[in-house]
Amino acid sequence: MANLLNAKQTTLRERVVVSGIGVHSGKPVEMILHPADPNTGINFLRVDRENGTELEIKGSFSSVIDTQLCTIIGHPQKGMIATIEHLMAALVGYGVDNVLVEVDADEVPVMDGSSRAYIDAIDQVGLTELSAPRRYIRVLKPVRVQNGESVGELMPYDGTRFDVTIDFDCDSIGVQTFDSEMTPEVFKRDVSLARTFGFMSDVERLWAAGYALGSSLENSVVIGDDQKIVNPDGLRYSDEFVRHKTLDAVGDLALAGAQLLAHFRSFKGGHKLNFNMLEALFADDSNWEWVEAAASKRNSMRVGVSHTSPAIQAAMGPETN
């Protein structure tokens, strides 16, 4: 994920439109990815065309309001955008630093349940380098979170590495581990195609409760009551389940506000654990520091003078060079 050879921030060359349905509402969604200025990061714009209102939401862990079924950002009364993790994974995993995401519904379109459609949209218009140096958040000491059986760790590391293990009492899943450096190339090839998954009994329960109304075999890997995969075409990777959990982690940790230089490990994790990892990381300023890509040496990094938390920095507005 952290491409140390790229010393400059990036944005899209031009805007691109992505249309689909919301996985929970089942209703049409139009999303527009707009180019953005340096040091603005990833921001969302919830547009209510019927009422003529707009709400800007920072793509930050400080904007998270729920992690039960997916990652949701916004304000319970003013407006929200759900299921942002697959898009966030595509943007940060593929090296997009600055973008404005305009959405005309309460959800990002689910597409095929992976990040590939968003990657294809980025490829369609391409990226452009900006004048500002790329900024990272470097983890300085181990940070650990445990929620019952779920355990997560962020450790100092010269690069970005994801080490994710899942353990399901199901013949089609079992214990799976994905452990890799996370570069744009690795993300696109090894992670971006992994789809969200669930059990048929859970899907039916969610349908009855008014959720997952857009969920289908076209955007989810479904496991039946016989513990076998229902999808006629089977899996895209033999270990697609853990790769999707890795995709989710890439997207959730992108809410740090910049790419992390760290080794992330998780066991039986999910959206809540990922969010709690960021809370724990930024609870103590001695856990982390800003670094900038040095313009003079392609592979070196230099420490920035600021140590303001991403949430506070977002509230203060973008820095000027």
Q: Mind listing the pLDDT tens digit for each residue in 173-224?
A: 999 999 999 999 999 999 999 999 999 988 888 788 877 788 899 999 999 9
Distance of alpha carbon 171 from alpha carbon 309, whole angstroms: 43
Which structural domain, as residue segments, surrounds residue 85? 8-132
Distance of alpha carbon 266 from alpha carbon 195, whole angstroms: 19
Distance of alpha carbon 38 from alpha carbon 240, whole angstroms: 35
Domain count for the chain: 2
262 lies in a domain? yes
* pLDDT at position 24: 84
304 lies in a domain? no
Instruction: Establish whether 86 is an annotated binding residue.
Output: yes
| Residue 42 bridge partners (DSSP) | 99
Question: Do residues 197 and 241 lie in contact, with contact meaning Cβ atoms separated by under 8 Å?
Answer: yes
- Given 78, 97, 132, the domain boundary residue is 132
**This prediction's pTM:** 0.90
DSSP state of 229: B
Supply the residues annotated as catalytic: 271
Structure tokens at 102: 């305009």
**Same structural domain, 196 and 106:** no
**Same structural domain, 126 and 181:** no
* pLDDT at position 202: 85
What's the average pLDDT block by block, 10 residues per block, for the chain (321 residues)?
65 98 93 98 94 93 95 93 98 96 97 98 97 96 97 97 97 97 97 96 82 88 95 97 98 97 98 98 98 60 50 44 34
**Same structural domain, 113 and 172:** no
**Same structural domain, 152 and 272:** yes
* pLDDT at position 304: 45
**Same structural domain, 170 and 36:** no
**Same structural domain, 143 and 278:** yes
318 lies in a domain? no
Give the domain CATH number at 18.
Answer: 3.30.230.20
Q: Are strands 259-267 and 135-139 parallel, antiparallel or unpaired?
A: parallel
**Same structural domain, 196 and 256:** yes
- Phi/psi region, residue 195 (left: phi>0; alpha: psi -120 to 50; beta: rest), is beta
Structure tokens at 113: 């349940």
Helices (H), the chain: 85-93, 116-125, 184-186, 200-208, 240-253, 271-282, 310-316
**Same structural domain, 123 and 147:** no
Distance of alpha carbon 52 from alpha carbon 112, whole angstroms: 30
316 lies in a domain? no
- How far from the centroid of its chain's Cα atoms is residue 65's Cα? 15
Instruction: Establish whether 244 is an annotated binding residue.
Output: yes
| Residue 161 bridge partners (DSSP) | 181, 263
**Same structural domain, 56 and 94:** yes
Residue linked to tokens 């800003």: 290
**Same structural domain, 124 and 144:** no
**Same structural domain, 199 and 103:** no
| Residue 123 three-state SS | helix
**Same structural domain, 165 and 281:** yes
Give the domain CATH number at 248.
Answer: 3.30.1700.10
Question: Do residues 111 and 219 lie in contact, with contact meaning Cβ atoms separated by under 8 Å?
Answer: yes
